[in-house]
Each structure stands twice: as structure tokens, then as C-alpha cells.
Amino acid sequence: MKMYKLNRTFKQRKIHAMKTIKFIPILTLLIILFTGCPPQLDKASSWDLCCTLPDSGVYRDIFFIDADEGWLIGQYERIYHSDNGGESWELQNSGNRDLSTVHFLDKQYGWATGLMAAYYTINGGTSWNYVDLFTYGAIWVPFTEEIFFIDRENVLVFWSRSSYPLIVTRFTFNVDSARFYPLASSLKFPNYLSSTTNVANKVWFADVEQNIYLSTDGGVNWSTGQIEADSGDISAINDIHFTNEQDGWFCSNCSVYHSDDGGENWYYKTTLPDSSLGRIYFKKDEGWVMGEKIIYYSSDGGNSWQAQLQVDVEEKLVSISFVNCSNGWALSESGNVYRYGVE
């Protein structure tokens, strides 16, 4: 069992937030009740370097289920687990394929997927089970873009082959047989997948040609959202996130957009001085958007933004994960893990 922890000889980077938020005291209780996030009165938020993984290779994604327990993945089918908020990591799995996405529905049930590889666990990663992506029942799936679990049994598989950039198939997954069984005919879309997200049975995905699709019935039917024209930059939709069934956000290369009607219409919010925005997260009015070298923070629903974390020029941020507005993590491609918290 390998355990990796920050060597204290590393120079710890600690970047304090460039914000001071002052609230009228009588509003404090209302803010807690309606947002679920207490105002940070006289407190500074910061990003700390909490761990550097020593293994060579490229790291891809990080996901935390609560303030203590999380997973991250990278090349060579490496899956790591932490039970202390990212201070140390245990290597749970390794191989020779690349993984790109990790997600857990609860502390026990999770998935790690890549272009031609997929693993699932039903015991928090104590054991990971490989799933053959080439044959699901009667459907041959040569290149998997993403396996997206709506719940423990209902799954959307986004995949492609030479003649079609994107195919979406609904499956049911049987844990005992480790097999996917198709529920209906596949749907074909004209462009490659960019990002997916869901809230319960409502699912959204974006493609590489600036289209956003939404389904209110778990992927049975799809419609297209409308993006406000002639504003901001929509050369790419790099990430999409919904805080509930109505309020959603997406980031393009340098702009942020918002929807308040479940993704049917999208409105421009702001443009940031970074051309590589890749991930976005919101909790009510508090939000973060990540570029390759920087993380921006907003406390007013995306109307204004301030830099919170800036990494060294040789680093590249690839993923963020938040469990609430007081606990978040960022992962760099080289294996640095940063933690966000309130002092």
C-alpha cells in the first residue's frame, strides 16, 4: 500500500484571497438560511498546496464526496484515494491505459473512465473492477467519450466511431455481471462531446461546436438550449455546471454564461483575462472558474471576479472539485493538489 504525503521541505504555496466581504449584520442569518454558505466575516479564504504526488505521468481529474474523502486519477489507470482531505493519498489501482474522469455517487459507488477503459467500485475503491468497453450487449463501442451515471443503474454512454462524432446510448448496468444492457436505440449527434452534468434525472451536455443539449427524462429526449448571440466568447464550451434544476453555468475559453431556466436560454455574464478557462463551479452566488494557471472567485453571482490562486508558469491546472463553498480542491497536471478553505 503506497501512501503519498507532502514533503515538508517543499515550499508551501499559500495564496490568500484578494477579497474582503462585508455584510450588514442583520442579513447574516438570512444569507445562511438561503444560500447554505455562511458569510466569511473577518476570515480569509486561501488555497494551500497540501500534497505533491511523486509518480511520473499526467494527472487528469479529482473528485471529493465530502470534506475528507476523495479520489484522483491519471495515466496508467492510476486511481488514488484520500481520507484526510487530500493531505495524503493511497494508490488503489494501476495499469497501462489512460483515465480521464472520476466520479462517485456516494462513498462506496464510483467510476473511473477513459477513452478505452472503465473501472467501477462498490466498496469505496478497496477493489476496482474493469469493464470491457468494446462490447455492451449487441452494441459495439470502440471509443468511449464518457460514461455518465444518473443513478446506480441508469447510465448514459457517450461514444464515437469513425462515421459519427457522438452517439448517446442509454443503458442499465448490472453490477453482478459487470455488463451494460441497452435500453433503447442510440441517438446520433453531429459533433464531439465537450462536457456533461446532471441534477437528478435532468441531464445537460455541451459539444465542441458551442451547442448545449438538455434532457428532462434521463436522456430519452433531447432539446437544444439557446445562447445569447453577439456577446462574450463562445468559441468553445469547456465546462458546464448546474447548482439545481434551474441555475446553470458554463465557461468558454475566456467568458462565463448563466442560465436561470434549466438551460433553455443562456446569457452572457463576463469575460475574464484568461484564454483557457476549463472548469466552473457555483453554489448559489459563490463561484469559481479555473484556467490553466489561475482560479478566479466570484461572490456576487458571477458579476465580478477576483484571482484567488495563481500557479507557477510550468504548472497546468486540470481539475477542481468542491463539496460546498468552504471546501474545495484543485489538481495540476503534474500532480500538485491544492486545497481551498476558510481560516
The domain locations on the chain are 194-310
Q: Which residue has the cell 462513498?
A: 107
Judged against a pLDDT cut of 50, whether residue 29 lies above it is answered with no
149-163 tens-digit pLDDT: 888 889 898 888 766
Closest C-alpha to 156, from 103, 108, 106, 107: 103
Judged against a pLDDT cut of 70, whether residue 33 lies above it is answered with no
Q: What is the DSSP letter of 277?
A: -
pLDDT of residue 116: 72
Q: Who wins on pLDDT, 305 or 130?
A: 305
* 7-16, 180-189, 198-207, 303-312: the lowest-pLDDT one: 7-16
Burial degree of 267 (CB within 10 A; 0-12, 13-18, 19+) = middle
**DSSP reduced 3-state for 27:** helix
CATH code of the region 194-310: 2.120.10.80
pTM over 0.95: no
**DSSP reduced 3-state for 148:** strand
- Do 81 and 119 touch, CB atoms closer than 8 A? no
If you average pLDDT over residues 42-61, what whole number do you get? Answer: 83
80-96 tens-digit pLDDT: 999 999 999 999 999 88
In single-letter form, the type of residue at position 158 comes to F
| Highest mean pLDDT: which range of 33-37, 59-63, 272-276 | 59-63
pLDDT of residue 178: 77
186-232 tens-digit pLDDT: 899 999 999 999 998 899 999 998 999 999 999 999 999 999 877 77
Number of H helices, E strands in the chain: 1, 34
Q: Which three cell numbers stand for residue 218?
A: 434521463
pLDDT of residue 43: 40
Burial degree of 210 (CB within 10 A; 0-12, 13-18, 19+) = middle
